[in-house]
Each structure stands twice: as structure tokens, then as C-alpha cells.
């Protein structure tokens, strides 16, 4: 953390240092971007920087400043009838739309940050041009500049487009939603009819501490989420390894066939397989019909696989095994075949039996290689939307819960809060942040310790 802060400080200090060292053309660059390059003969580069500055200033004057200011208030005029003092009658007032104001404010912040990066780049380029001239060398032309983007600066070329995508479709929306967690954008404050505003940490207080229905929902759902994630991860992991071992045994015939049979179930889209399993497990579904036909249960009886809370929770975990074990099997198959054979040979010479070999050689090796995979699986299970949503839809619904059912995870609850009838965006965002903290805590504890993170470059 300290290192990062120092990095940020250095990033900004660069402006001051360069301003002191630069000559007057470089100094001019601070105000008219690209001037140093332009006047020293790098026309295209200079013009590009200048264009960026003009575009940003134009944006700032026309839209930027007002949307940045709107970020502070999130709108003041409520839609409705207001008294017009001059006319002496009530007129319809077009209200502010807090949501759009917040969004355009966030966009302005991002453009400003982007401009700051370009500004720094232009100053750096200007200073470099000054240094090259001082050394009496020739400045690289446009073509040479472009060539460096396919050689020494190739990482920028490769990463430019993907990064734009990430910024637009992940970072910006996420930032927007994080901000919403600090507003009261719930079903009672829906723009454009109504305004919402900043309320600080109040949402977190309501969810965590208030004792309202929401916090009485949050804690049990959190508990179930963790239980679910632990069981889903560990059982799938063990099951997958055992299955892989069974298939990988030297004596097992038709390895490819077995593998394919299990792989078919992951190859089928989850929305298909899980929806099918859901209808099979219904009270009148195929499994109950089969049990009745076999005479295991009475003719009118049924097993409440999905309608009884405890049954539903166990069913969800079991069905998830059906989904997940083939995956782990596929992934561990590769790893198992990488275990050096002489380890096994020497263990056998020393007289170790199968069980000992499994716990002393296979497991440590597999665990070592797959720790990052285990952690991502665990976090993935905390966020496992598909299995819950398609299988139970979060149900059975409970009256004690706020917009949630007994098998809802935090994420499916979040989904219901945003797309359900009430649209409590602020609570949903706050829950999203809490899920983030949960995942971050778990992964910081374990991930930082694993060798594969700390010695990331050792294997290269």
C-alpha cells in the first residue's frame, strides 16, 4: 500500500520537477499542449496533443463544468407543480434527473482523469524533445515513432483497445454503482419523478446494524452464502480430483470415453441443464414421479427437493456437484499427469500404500498448483449466480426476508433488488460492495501467502 501511495505521489511530482527543469518551450507545453513538439519540428505529435487539449476544453465549457457541479447536489428541482411568482399560477416544472446527473458527472470525472494522463504524456514528450535537441541529435519522425509502438512500446499497442473496453464496460459502470451505494436511490427515490441525494454511509448502517428487515435478511443470507461457498468449493474439488484419479488409473479402460461422458454435462449450457433439473426436482417433477413408480414413496407423497428450505439448500449443493465435478476433473487431469512419476516410484519402494501416496504426494502437489484456482473457485461460488437462480430462483420465499428467499446468495439477492418490483439500487450497490469486501478479505488472507503469487516470476 505504501509503495502504491508513493507511486501516486511521484506521478504528480513529475509535473513540478519537469517544470523546473524544462526550458521555456517545455514550460509553454504546460499551458499549450504539444507546443514543444510542434515548434521543434514534430508536427503530427504536437498537433495531436493540441487537439486533445482543445477537445477537452471545449467539452469542459459546454458540458463538463456543469455536470461536475451537478455531482455535488444531484439535482435540486423536483418534478411537479410549482408556484410561478411572476404569473401567479402553478406551472409544471421539469425536474432534475439525479441519475443522469450522477452519470454525466462520473463521465466528466473520467474524462478529466484521462485528460490528466494525456497532459502528463504531452509534457513528457515535450521534455524529451528538449533533451534530444540539447544533445544535438535529430528528433524521431512520425514513422519512427509509430515503429516504436510495434517494438519497445508494443505493450501499449497491444493493451490500448482491451483497456478501453475495460474502462468503458467495467470500471466506469462499477465506479458509478459504488457511488450509488452512498445515495438513497431506492424505490421511494426514483428519478425522474423524484430526486435522490448523497446520504453517506447510512445504507451500510441500515444493512449491517439497524435490526430492520433488511439487516435481518442480510446476516442469514451472508451466513448461507459462506456455508454454500465452502461446501460447493471443497466438495467439488475433492470430487473432481477423485474422479480424475479414478479415470487416470493405469488399469482403467476407455479413459477417453469416461471423460467424454462427464464432459457432456458441462458442455450443455447451464441455463438448459439447470432449468431441466429444476423441473425434474419439482414436487410433481420427474424424480418424484420416478420415486413413486419405484414405490419408494407413497403415491401422493413427494420429496420437497426445492420447496422446503433445508431440502432446497442441500439440493442446491448436491446439484452443484453435478455441475462442478466434471470441471474440476478436466482441470486436475492435466495437473495429475504433470506429477513427476519418480515421486510415486520412490514412494512405492519405501512401501507406502495408495492412501498414504494420495495424501502425502498427490494432494500436496495438486493443492500447491491449484491454490489460486481454489481461491477463484471460492470467490466464484460466493458469486455463483447461475446455479441458484436457475435452480431455485432463490426460493422458497420467506416472509422474514426482504425480497429474498431461503437459498438466495448475496448476489442473487442483489439481482432481485435491482430487477425486482422495488428497484432498491442503493441497497443493491451497498450489498455489492459488501460482497467485494468479503471476497477481498478471503483472497487477501490466502492469496498473498501462496507461493504462486509471491514468486510469480520464478517460473519464467
190 lies in the binding site for other proteins (CB under 8 A): no
**Three cell numbers at 85?**
411568482
Which C-beta is closer to other proteins: that of 261 or that of 363?
Answer: 261
Stretch near other proteins under the rule CB under 8 A, chosen from 84-92, 112-120, 224-232, 418-426:
418-426
- Binding to other proteins in span 222-261, by CB under 8 A: 243, 246-247, 249, 251-253, 258-261
171 binds other proteins (CB under 8 A): yes
How many Cβ atoms are within 10 Å of 25's Cβ, its own excluded?
18
CB of 204 to other proteins, least distance (A): 15
Is residue 193 a contact point for other proteins (CB under 8 A)?
A: no
Axis-axis angle for helices 425-447, 213-248 (nearest 10): 40
Q: At what angle are helices 172-180 and 425-447 packed, to 10 degrees? A: 110
Beta bridge partners of 147: none
- Burial category of 320 from C-beta neighbours within 10 Å (exposed 0-12, middle 13-18, buried 19 and up): buried
Q: Are 278 and 390 in contact (CB under 8 A)?
A: yes
- The single residue among 51, 121, 158, 296 that binds other proteins, judged by CB under 8 A, is 158
Cβ closest to other proteins, residue 134 vs residue 284: 284
Name residues contacting other proteins, limited to 86-145 (CB under 8 A). 99-100, 103
Q: Which of 63, 339, 385, 420 is the binder for other proteins (CB under 8 A)?
A: 385
- Using an 8 Å Cβ cutoff, are 72 and 32 in contact? no
Among 73, 131, 346, 419, binds other proteins (CB under 8 A): 419
Choice between 46 and 432, CB closer to other proteins:
432
Q: Does residue 70 contact residue 104 with C-beta atoms inside 8 Å?
A: yes
Least Cα distance to 64 among 123, 115, 98 occurs for 115
Piece of the chain touching other proteins by CB under 8 A; list 48-56, 59-67, 305-313, 438-446: 438-446
> For residues 52 and 30, what is the distance between their CA atoms, to the nearest angstrom?
13
User: If DSSP codes are grouped into helix, strand and coil, which group holds residue 369?
Assistant: helix
Q: Quick one: 25 or 435, whose CB is closer to other proteins?
A: 435
H or E stretch at 18: helix 2-21
Selected from 41, 193, 223, 269, the binder of other proteins by CB under 8 A is: 269
- Contact between 440 and other proteins by CB under 8 A: the answer reads yes
Which residues, numbered 46-65, are part of the site for other proteins (CB under 8 A)? none
Amino acid at each position: 500500500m505504501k509503495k502504491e501511495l508513493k507511486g501516486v505521489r511521484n506521478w504528480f511530482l513529475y509535473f513540478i520537477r519537469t517544470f523546473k527543469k524544462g526550458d521555456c518551450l517545455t514550460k509553454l507545453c504546460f499551458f499549450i499542449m504539444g507546443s514543444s513538439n510542434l515548434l521543434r519540428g514534430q508536427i503530427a505529435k504536437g498537433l495531436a496533443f493540441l487537439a486533445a487539449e482543445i477537445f477537452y476544453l471545449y467539452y469542459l465549457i459546454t458540458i463538463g463544468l456543469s455536470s461536475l457541479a451537478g455531482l455535488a447536489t444531484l439535482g435540486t428541482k423536483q418534478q411537479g407543480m410549482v408556484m410561478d411568482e411572476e404569473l401567479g399560477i402553478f406551472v409544471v416544472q421539469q425536474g432534475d434527473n439525479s441519475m443522469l446527473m450522477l452519470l454525466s458527472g462520473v463521465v466528466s470525472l473520467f474524462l478529466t482523469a484521462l485528460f490528466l494522463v494525456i497532459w502528463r504524456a504531452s509534457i513528457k514528450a515535450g521534455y524529451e524533445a528538449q533533451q534530444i535537441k540539447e544533445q544535438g541529435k535529430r528528433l524521431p519522425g512520425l514513422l519512427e515513432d509509430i515503429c516504436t509502438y510495434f517494438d519497445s512500446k508494443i505493450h501499449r499497442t497491444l493493451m490500448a483497445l482491451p483497456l478501453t473496453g475495460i474502462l468503458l464496460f467495467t470500471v466506469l459502470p462499477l465506479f458509478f454503482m459504488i457511488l450509488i451505494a452512498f445515495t438513497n436511490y431506492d424505490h421511494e427515490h426514483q428519478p425522474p419523478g423524484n430526486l435522490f441525494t448523497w446520504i453517506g454511509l447510512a445504507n451500510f448502517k441500515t444493512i449491517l446494524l439497524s435490526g430492520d428487515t433488511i439487516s435481518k435478511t442480510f446476516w442469514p443470507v451472508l451466513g448461507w452464502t459462506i456455508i454454500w461457498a465452502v461446501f460447493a468449493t471443497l466438495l467439488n474439488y475433492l470430487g473432481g480430483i477423485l474422479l480424475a484419479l479414478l479415470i487416470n488409473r493405469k488399469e482403467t479402460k476407455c479413459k477417453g470415453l469416461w471423460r467424454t461422458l462427464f464432459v457432456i454435462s458441462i458442455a450443455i449450457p447451464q441455463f438448459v441443464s439447470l432449468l431441466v433439473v429444476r423441473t425434474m426436482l419439482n414436487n410433481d417433477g420427474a424424480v418424484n414421479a420416478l420415486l413413486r413408480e419405484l414405490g419408494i414413496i407413497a403415491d401422493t407423497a413427494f420429496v420437497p427437493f426445492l420447496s422446503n428450505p433445508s431440502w432446497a439448500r442441500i439440493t442446491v449443493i448436491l446439484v452443484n456437484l453435478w455441475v462442478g465435478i466434471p470441471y474440476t476433473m478436466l482441470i486436475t487431469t492435466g495437473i495429475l499427469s504433470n506429477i513427476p512419476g519418480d515421486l510415486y516410484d520412490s514412494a512405492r519402494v519405501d512401501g507406502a500404500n495408495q492412501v498414504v501416496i494420495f495424501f502425502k504426494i498427490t494432494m500436496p502437489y495438486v493443492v500447491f498448483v491449484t491454490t489460486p484456482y481454489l481461491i477463484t473457485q471460492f470467490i466464484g461460488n460466493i458469486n455463483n449466480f447461475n446455479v441458484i437462480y436457475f435452480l431455485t430462483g432463490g426460493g422458497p420465499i420467506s416472509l422474514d426476508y426482504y425480497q429474498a428467499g431461503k437459498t438466495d446468495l448475496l448476489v442473487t439477492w442483489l439481482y432481485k433488488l435491482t430487477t425486482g418490483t422495488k428497484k432498491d439500487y442503493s441497497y443493491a450497490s451497498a450489498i455489492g460492495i459488501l460482497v467485494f469486501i468479503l471476497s477481498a478479505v478471503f483472497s487477501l488472507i490466502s492469496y498473498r501467502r501462496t507461493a504462486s503469487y509471491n514468486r510469480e516470476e520464478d517460473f519464467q
